Structure 1
Amino acid sequence: MLRLFAFLMMLLASPGVFAQEAGPRGIHATEAVVTDTALVPHARPAIVAGELKTQRFVILHTAKAAGAARALAGQIEGVRDAFGAMLGRDWPGTTEIRLGVGRQEFEALALPGGKPPGWAVALAYPGHQIILLDALSLSDSEGPTTLRHELAHVALGQLARDWPRWFQEGVAQNLTDERYSVAHYGALFRAVTQERVFHFEDLADDWPDVPADVEIAYAQSAAFVAFLTGKHGSHAMGLLVDGVRAGEPFEQAFGKAFRTSLLLEEQDWREGLAARYGWLPLTTSSALLWLTASVLCVAAFVRRMRQKAARMTELAAEDAAEDAALRLLAAARAAGPVPVDGSEPLSPALPWPEWPGATTPVAPPNPSAPSQPEALEGAPEALESGTGHPEGPDGSDLDMDDEEPESASGEYELDGEAPSGRPPKPTLH
């Protein structure tokens, strides 16, 4: 977020890096003014198909521009009234507007010797009170502003002559509300932060050559005229127009109308530039607050999407691990039973091999049969009687041949040879 904010500040503070190198931006790149009064209007051009008249205008149009001419005729008088409210004076006479569609018709309507530049879509002849327009430009977003700008040049040209360049451009931009544009604010911000504000005596006749400086010249001219109008009102502006029309030098008429000099008014205006176009208004403006809020929303959305993507990746990994564990468990179950304690799976039971010389396993004792000491209680009497076999409790003989004597250590007593077959019978003493 801090990096984005710093980048935006660098854009505003950059010395025209992003300015249009071919010329000024906006309507200043599409409008032109011809101040040569030696041009003589000839007869009505042959391409003109009709005309519309209002109280203070006459509109000549081609066949293709008939619709645009009717729409313009219903609006043009109100535009002129707004000019009189600002300047305190209305210019005399009838203003002629020529409308054509396309480049070919636009150039065919021009005065002899006053061909419009190739980049222009509007042209003003202030000395002849004629405005030339491409009707297609009126449907553009900046079309009405271009028309008002050309009317401002005609108005000043008809009211008086020898206006300083900065005053003409400043009045035209205030009449068209161009001074409220973001481009003008950005140009003045660069001029203030980089200390590149021009003196108006240097903008009286010539205009800068560098496109970035041209934007500053336009912006500061509009801002200074707005400062004068807001401070002194339209009445003082009317007195200034009257003085210049009477042939007084501009600075002399300026002193009489505003009761101060141009230099003092310029110094007063410069002192307030930092407060209006410096860093402080930029950081406290509502536009910046909305911009910051928008950037925060975008940053929060991006962060949320990243968190969601990370969570989905984590869930996918967990699902893959569970699937692998299930496959391993299924394989283990197919191989055999799995002990609970985690030891090796049990092998299937195999038959025990019969080794040579192994004895027959002894059957487990019968719980109901008498124990061995009880069975041997009658053995001495049986031996003494000569029977040779002791009798059991039930009178049956005890077969001693099946008994296998053990040594004290639990092993068989062998006569030096390994037993083969049955062991020898025990001897009683």
Structure 2
Amino acid sequence: MVRFLCRTSWWLLLLLWVSSWAIASDTPSPPDGFLTVEGIRVDWAHSSDVGPPSEKLASLVESTLKDLRQWLGSRSTRRPLVLLVSTSAGLNHALEHYQGERVPAWVPAVALTRKSIIIIDSHYLVRHPIGGGATVTHELAHLVLEEAGGPLPRWVHEGLAQSAAHQRPDPSTSRALTLLARGDSLVPITELDQYLPRTHGRASLLYAEALSFIDWTRRQFEPGLHARILAHCKEGSHWHQGFELETGLTIEQATQDWINELAQRDVFLGLVLDLIVSWNGLALLVILAFVVQISRRRSRLRQMEEEERWHSQRYPTSDGQNRTDSGEDIV
């Protein structure tokens, strides 16, 4: 009996060791030369010229990850790895380590969803404290979407990530979206992935469309909608199938309802402002200013000519010449 218990204990220890090794092997390792810091829900790694995460950044990442997992229904206990690098060159060097594609210099952060890794240019966070926080939330949302739903359409990824980070398009892009909705010229939601380029900067209007539709669904339906849709996706359904199961609407019906609401937004005043601040508007203002200046000069010349016809111009009256003027100052 004692021998049996000893063997059983040995096997249990072996299973625990194998399980621990499997979990550890699932956690990606940082590039050589990076120093590691263990957090509560995430692991950190930073290059020697950056330093460990600040208390504020660590708190933001931990709390945001918790909130996103709760909102999107992820039960994952996987510990993401957050890499802090300096400059775009450092970001691309880290990407090469994980066999990722290089990104343009203006990209401040990248999420490798399958590996559960986020790489962040810490210099960008210092220069843009508000925008940097939104960027961190955006990239964390990509990781949690992968956890909760598996592979998803890219427009769903970008729409939900922008919505989570409260990243809104500029007013002119929003007005352009409304005008396209009025003209029934928007790219169908289900076809957005065919037109989205790899970089956000080249597709601000398409990203804005994805965000607008996702925000509309958040206003129209209860808060748990997207978590339930993602659960269907995790089980193998397509996103639009999960959407129909949970809302009773096809994606086409929902899209039409969203377009109808979008088309009703008032854009007239904004278009006038766009005209004023645009180069064409500036040119128009220059022309108008020139015309006004010419008109004022002509008016002034006429006034001077009328004044010259008076014998005394020092105290003119509405009747013409001031006949009481003696030519001396009256104090």
8 Å CA contact 1:116–1:123 kept in 2: the answer is no
Give the corresponding residue for 1:207.
195
1:143 Cα deviation from its structure 2 partner = 2.4
- SS of 2:241's equivalent in the other structure is helix
Closer, same or farther: CA 269–213 of 1 in aligned 2, 3 Å: farther
Give the corresponding residue for 1:140.
127
- SS of 1:98's equivalent in the other structure is strand
Q: Distance in 2 between matches of 1:215 and 1:126?
A: 22
1:228 correspondence with 2:217:
yes
1:228 Cα deviation from its structure 2 partner = 0.7
Give the corresponding residue for 2:249.
260
Matches within 5 A, 1:11-30: none
Q: Distance in 1 between matches of 2:234 and 2:50?
A: 36
- SS of 1:123's equivalent in the other structure is strand
Closer, same or farther: CA 214–106 of 1 in aligned 2, 3 Å: closer
- SS of 1:63's equivalent in the other structure is coil
Instruction: Choose which of 97, 101, 121 in structure 1 pairs with 2:82.
Output: 97
Give the corresponding residue for 1:61.
46
- SS of 2:118's equivalent in the other structure is strand
Q: Distance in 2 between matches of 1:187 and 1:78?
A: 35
1:237 Cα deviation from its structure 2 partner = 1.7
Listed as ranges, the gaps of 5+ residues in structure 1 are 1-39, 322-429
1:182 correspondence with 2:171:
yes
Normalised TM-score (structure 1): 0.53
Structure 1 vs Structure 2 CA RMSD: 4.1
Closer, same or farther: CA 113–183 of 1 in aligned 2, 3 Å: farther
- SS of 2:249's equivalent in the other structure is coil
CA deviation digits over 1:372-404, x for unaligned, max 9? Answer: xxxxxxxxxxxxxxxxxxxxxxxxxxxxxxxxx
Instruction: Choose which of 37, 40, 51 in structure 2 pairs with 1:52.
Output: 37
1:171 Cα deviation from its structure 2 partner = 0.3
Identity of aligned residues (%): 20
Matches within 5 A, 1:334-349: none
Q: Distance in 1 between matches of 2:202 and 2:92?
A: 30
8 Å CA contact 2:73–2:231 kept in 1: the answer is no
8 Å CA contact 2:138–2:164 kept in 1: the answer is yes
1:87 correspondence with 2:66:
no
Give the corresponding residue for 1:158.
147
Q: Distance in 2 between matches of 1:156 and 1:236?
A: 14
8 Å CA contact 2:74–2:144 kept in 1: the answer is no
Closer, same or farther: CA 143–232 of 1 in aligned 2, 3 Å: same
Q: Distance in 2 between matches of 1:240 and 1:135?
A: 34
Give the corresponding residue for 2:9.
none
8 Å CA contact 2:243–2:250 kept in 1: the answer is yes
Give the corresponding residue for 2:237.
248
1:84 Cα deviation from its structure 2 partner = 4.2
Q: Distance in 2 between matches of 1:226 and 1:135?
A: 29
In structure 1, give the amino acid aligned to 2:91.
F
1:188 Cα deviation from its structure 2 partner = 0.7
Give the corresponding residue for 1:127.
114
Instruction: Choose which of 94, 112, 115 in structure 1 pairs with 2:98.
Output: 112
Q: Distance in 2 between matches of 1:67 and 1:93?
A: 21
1:77 Cα deviation from its structure 2 partner = 2.1
1:137 Cα deviation from its structure 2 partner = 1.4
Of Structure 1 and Structure 2, the greater helix share is in 2
- SS of 2:82's equivalent in the other structure is strand
Closer, same or farther: CA 236–43 of 1 in aligned 2, 3 Å: closer
Q: Distance in 2 between matches of 1:42 and 1:86?
A: 26
CA deviation digits over 1:50-84, x for unaligned, max 9? Answer: 33333211121122221654442132123234424
In structure 1, give the amino acid aligned to 2:159.
G
8 Å CA contact 1:131–1:151 kept in 2: the answer is yes
> Considering only CA atoms, is the larger Rg found in Structure 1 or Structure 2?
1
1:104 Cα deviation from its structure 2 partner = 3.9
8 Å CA contact 2:82–2:117 kept in 1: the answer is yes
8 Å CA contact 1:79–1:148 kept in 2: the answer is yes
8 Å CA contact 2:148–2:230 kept in 1: the answer is yes
Give the corresponding residue for 1:74.
59
Q: Distance in 1 between matches of 2:214 and 2:197?
A: 22
Closer, same or farther: CA 97–187 of 1 in aligned 2, 3 Å: farther
